[in-house]
Every structure is written in structure tokens, then in C-alpha cells.
């Protein structure tokens, strides 16, 4: 039974935690080789995680996607999980086996058209009864783009410009039908109410769209929009456009800084702090004691970063073949090849000049006595909660109540059962303190997240440049 929620440290009412279950995608940290791991392709795996998340009263199921398999030295990187059914059919299928759980899919704005995306997500929203969400991502990667367009890609500077225009057009299309457009009166023979469906005429830099949208307005008005991007441009785009930010930050203090920075940008677009939720990705490792959990977390990281994986990761930074080096030995003594960015395809080098990164890594590895594998484990470990169920519940609640996040998207290392311990032991503790729902109070994802229903014409600024003006 839920207890009366205690106030936050500053005396304000206790915030409700928002939680999403992440089904890992390609190039993720899933340990597919673990004997407990099951298929990443069979529908029963998607269904299992979705049903468990709904039983735990999670806000949504989140499906990642990659548009091209990563290659390393001309071969598919076989340490990745590879192969995945298309996102939207999976989510549509999950709509039939769940009732309240939100269904969020990652779809690229660089290589798709606004009309088809608006129609697909409006359809998912209708089929699911108002539970659709679209995670907007961009790409400036020519390797991925080679599957989609001649020339392969857009310049980096155009990524968010095109994404903003896609959202602008999609919202025009969603808003072109009024909520009560369908009359279906057999006596008058009128199916649509007069004037309830408007023609859309859009002429922009990237798209010209003219005509009448085919799909009625869904129960949410607009599907919930997720966005991931930590750059200044990405944060501004989120403040102007998104309902949810899928963020990455490593510490509680970093989370508070990111949270405050993005929330402070909202007023410029006529938005309130409650209109945007910040949900970092995280992992959870539980144990009977803190020591047991720490030991298990270290074991998982060793599974995720094999010696072969560690060498492959370093090759992406060095731009050189490093297979002659022992992953349990010291860092390579050769300098990076700054001109060779194509050793690993589909993996964007995180800096244009790897020299300073390599120098910093060498200094840190020497001071700590780290091997190549130790270093890669350290620099690739993201935010995670490690401890007993009570410790993890305390930590998650602290992040939310002290404004380092509005909740979390949980990424399991095992598919599809990796979040079961969290569902079974942490969720009840969060419910007991009044920080997480015991029952769904609404039927749509917007209701779960506490987001207002957008009015026809849109209540948020969609076009980034237009919003700035």
C-alpha cells in the first residue's frame, strides 16, 4: 500500500518518478553471449519485457534502432547484437498485447520524409489508444546514409535544421484534423464534419508538402516526442521541440547541471518546466549486499568489454590496426593516425583530433596501473546504480527529488529478463514511499508523463529557427 508521500528536502511536494524500459539495440551493452540471454529478434522477447514493464506500471517501453550494422575492418562487428526487425511493426504488435504501456520508437529524421513519419506515428497512436512516442534522432554519417540517398548524408550543420522542419510539418499534418472530425452520420451521408479536415501547404528548405492528410488525429493529439542530444544545439532543439529528453550524464552533480540548463531554456519558447521531462539512460545492478552488487557490476563490465572489444574500441580512436597489442597489457606506444577515420565504419569518432584524448588516457592508465581493457571499461561505463534494492531505490529517488532528473530509462544487460530484479524489488520500495504509481491513473502516455494535450495548431514551438524569432 502506498504511504503518504513525504515532502522533498526543500519542502515542495514529492515528484513522481517516470520510468521507461529500454529494449537494447545494435551497438549496445547487451551481453548476448551470457547463457541467460535470449533472442533479440523473436517477438516473444519484445512481448516479455513489455508485459513485465506494464505489470510494474512503467511509463513506457523504449525501442532503440540502428539503420546500418557497424563494421570493423570491413566485417560486421560480431561482438555487437546484430539484426533487428523494423521498429514500427514491433511497436504496433506490442500495442495488441499491452493496454497502458507507452510505446516509444527511435526513427531517424535525416533519412525519412515527414508525411510518412507523421502517418506512421499517427496510426500507431490510434491503434494503441494514445500510447505512441517518437524518439527523434539525426545522423551526419555518410556510412549510414549510403543506404538512403545519393551522396549519403547531410552536412553536420543541417541535421537539426532538417529535423526541426520534419517536426514542424508532422505537427501541421497531425493538427490538420480536428478532434471531432469524423461525424459518420448515415442520415445526412456525411462522414466528415464540414471544415474539420484542412489542407496542408508547406514550402520549406527541405520539404514541400501539399495535400490532405489521410490519418485522423490520435488520442494524444501529437505522439510524445523524445529527443537525445547533449550539444548546445541539441539542448536548444529539445527546449523548442521535445516532450522528453533522453540524456546521458555520469554523476548526480552533472545531472543537476544538465537538468537546470535545459529547463532554463524552456521559457524562451513559452514553455513551463513541467512540459519537458528529462530521463537519462542508466543501468542497475542489484545484490544482497553492496559488496555483492559491486562484484556483480564488475563482472558484467568484464563481460561487456572483452579483450577483443577493448582492442576494437581503441582502434576507433587510434585509427590503426592494434591487434598485435595485448588487451591486458599497457596502452599502445604508437601515435594515432589522425587521418584514418574509416577503420571502423558506422562508429563516429568522438573527437576530430584524438591526440589529446590519447595523451590523457595514457596519463590516467599509468597513474592507475590500468591495462587497455581496464581503461576501456572505465571510459565506456555510463551512469549506473549499484547496490541493494533499498540503496538503489534511495539513489533513484534522490536524483528525482533533488532535480537531477525526472526519472530514468533503464537499460538491461540481459534480454529480455534483465530488468526482472528491478521490477520485483526496487519498484515496490519506490511505491511504498509514494514516489511511483501503484496503478495507472490515465490511459495515454501523455497522461502517464503529466504532459498536456496539445491543441490544434500546436502549443509548442516546432521550428527551431521560427521559435527563436
342 is in an annotated binding site: no
Residues 6+ apart with CB under 8 A from 329: 371, 372
If we measure between CA atoms, which residue out of 202, 260, 106, 137 comes closest to residue 466? 202
Distance between CA atoms of 363 and 358, rounded to whole angstroms? Answer: 9
Helix H or strand E encompassing 324: none
Is residue 106 annotated as involved in ligand binding? yes
Instruction: Read off the DSSP letter of residue 22.
Output: E
Give the position of cell 511493426: 89
The DSSP annotation for 418-461 comes to: TTHHIIIIIHHHHHHTTSS-SS-S-SSHHHHHTPPPPPTT-SS-
Cα three-residue angle 41-43-45, rounded to 5 degrees: 75
Report d(CA 280, CA 409) in Å as an integer. 6
Using CB atoms within 10 Å of the CB of residue 52, give its burial: 0 to 12 exposed, 13 to 18 middle, 19+ buried.
buried
Residue 333, H or E segment? none
Query: CB neighbours of 176 closer than 8 A, spacing ≥ 6?
Result: 197, 198, 199, 200, 212, 213
As a whole number of angstroms, the distance between CA 173 and CA 335 comes to: 53
* Nearest in space to 64 (alpha carbons), one of 249, 222, 281: 281
Burial zone of 225 (CB within 10 Å; 0-12 exposed, 13-18 middle, 19+ buried)? buried
Q: What pairing do the DSSP bridges indicate for beta strands 277-286 and 132-137?
A: unpaired
CA distances from 161 to 35, 67, 277 (A): 45, 20, 23
Residue 160 annotated as binding site: yes
Known binding residues:
106, 160, 231
Known binding residues for FMN:
106, 160, 231
Amino acid at each position: 500500500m502506498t504511504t503518504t508521500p513525504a515532502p522533498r528536502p526543500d519542502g515542495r511536494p514529492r515528484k513522481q518518478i517516470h520510468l521507461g524500459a529500454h529494449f537494447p539495440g545494435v551497438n549496445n551493452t547487451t551481453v548476448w553471449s551470457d547463457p541467460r540471454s535470449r533472442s533479440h529478434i523473436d517477438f516473444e522477447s519484445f512481448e516479455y519485457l513489455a508485459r513485465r514493464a506494464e505489470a510494474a506500471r512503467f511509463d513506457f517501453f523504449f525501442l532503440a534502432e540502428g539503420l546500418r550494422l557497424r563494421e570493423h575492418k570491413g566485417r560486421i562487428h560480431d561482438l555487437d547484437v546484430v539484426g533487428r526487425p523494423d521498429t514500427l511493426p514491433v511497436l504496433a504488435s506490442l500495442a495488441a498485447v499491452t493496454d497502458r504501456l507507452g510505446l516509444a520508437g527511435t526513427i531517424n529524421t535525416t533519412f525519412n520524409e515527414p508525411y510518412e513519419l507523421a502517418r506512421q506515428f499517427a496510426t500507431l497512436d490510434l491503434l494503441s489508444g494514445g500510447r505512441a512516442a517518437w524518439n527523434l534522432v539525426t545522423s551526419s554519417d555518410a556510412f549510414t546514409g549510403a543506404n538512403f540517398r545519393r551522396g549519403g548524408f547531410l552536412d553536420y550543420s543541417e541535421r537539426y535544421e532538417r529535423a526541426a522542419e520534419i517536426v514542424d510539418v508532422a505537427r501541421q499534418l497531425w493538427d490538420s484534423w480536428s478532434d471531432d472530425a469524423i461525424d459518420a452520420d448515415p442520415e445526412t451521408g456525411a462522414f466528415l464534419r464540414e471544415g474539420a479536415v484542412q489542407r496542408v501547404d508547406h514550402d520549406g528548405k527541405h520539404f514541400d508538402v501539399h495535400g490532405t492528410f489521410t490519418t485522423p488525429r490520435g488520442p494524444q493529439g501529437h505522439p510524445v516526442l523524445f529527443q537525445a542530444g547533449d550539444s548546445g544545439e541539441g539542448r536548444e532543439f529539445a527546449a523548442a521541440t521535445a516532450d522528453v529528453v533522453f540524456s546521458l550524464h555520469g554523476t548526480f552533480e552533472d545531472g543537476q547541471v544538465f537538468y537546470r540548463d535545459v529547463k532554463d531554456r524552456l521559457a524562451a519558447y513559452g514553455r513551463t518546466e513541467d512540459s519537458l521531462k528529462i530521463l537519462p539512460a542508466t543501468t542497475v545492478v542489484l545484490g544482497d549486499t553492496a559488496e555483492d552488487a559491486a562484484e556483480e557490476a564488475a563482472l558484467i563490465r568484464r563481460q561487456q568489454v572483452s579483450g577483443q572489444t577493448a582492442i576494437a574500441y581503441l582502434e576507433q580512436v587510434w585509427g590503426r590496426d592494434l591487434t598485435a597489442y595485448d588487451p591486458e597489457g599497457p596502452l599502445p606506444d604508437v601515435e594515432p593516425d589522425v587521418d584514418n577515420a574509416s577503420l571502423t565504419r558506422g562508429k563516429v569518432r568522438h573527437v576530430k583530433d584524438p591526440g589529446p584524448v590519447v595523451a590523457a588516457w595514457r596519463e590516467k592508465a599509468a597513474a592507475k596501473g590500468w591495462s587497455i581493457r581496464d581503461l576501456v571499461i572505465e571510459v565506456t561505463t555510463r551512469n549506473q546504480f549499484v547496490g541493494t534494492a533499498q540503496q538503489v531505490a534511495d539513489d533513484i529517488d534522490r536524483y528525482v527529488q533533488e532535480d537531477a532528473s525526472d526519472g530514468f530509462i533503464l537499460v538491461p544487460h540481459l534480454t529480455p529478463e534483465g530488468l526482472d530484479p528491478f521490477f520485483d524489488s526496487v519498484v515496490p520500495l519506490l511505491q511504498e514511499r509514494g514516489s511511483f504509481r501503484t496503478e495507472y491513473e490515465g490511459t495515454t502516455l501523455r497522461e502517464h508523463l503529466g504532459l498536456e494535450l496539445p491543441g490544434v495548431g500546436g502549443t509548442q514551438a516546432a521550428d527551431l529557427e521560427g521559435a527563436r524569432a
